[in-house]
Structure 1
């Protein structure tokens, strides 16, 4: 089995550019109803994953910050509490599964560390479930 089988390609993934604002992050996450979104730099590299919790904890720590003022804060200034690890597209399935156990999605990069998409944990579980149901 190849990781590419599970890959949701970059053009289908909701991402945020590294120079996005806090407000843009909040609005995009709300619109798509996601609790975590990958952050991509100008070269297409994966920087990290921002979560709702990151945004909320940051806003809580800044008593001077209002939602109206959130367009002034760059996303890059928000500390990320979780370090979602990436997997290379050529990695083996064991590497993917060990990361998917602890991450809702696994960012996938190419040999130049450019972000090429994600593998959702739910896709792996669905695949395993189908395999189990076919055995019965």
Structure 2
């Protein structure tokens, strides 16, 4: 989709999708999609090559809202978003405070990917420090 993301693999009920950040780095996300599209997905950062969960110290970094969403200390198996099945329970206030981020089954996974792309494209996202040669 305009090179914002690309499908890596599907092994139902999971799908791995890479989302491009503003610095050109692709970040992998593994989605649990059982019950899709009626049931909210569950997403977490994963290794693009293997699909295995990323270690918490390898998650994308940033500040503000970005840091709250990508917070493995909260739950290393989920992102802290109103469209994630593990994050929404217990956050009823999100339905009125953040209605645009609540899971709309008619939009499908595109909704979740657009939120991730927006976050990874924001100035709150910090590019990883790369070792110099």
Structure with higher helix content = 1
TM over 0.5: no
Superposition TM-score, scaled by structure 1 size: 0.31
Superposition TM-score, scaled by structure 2 size: 0.32
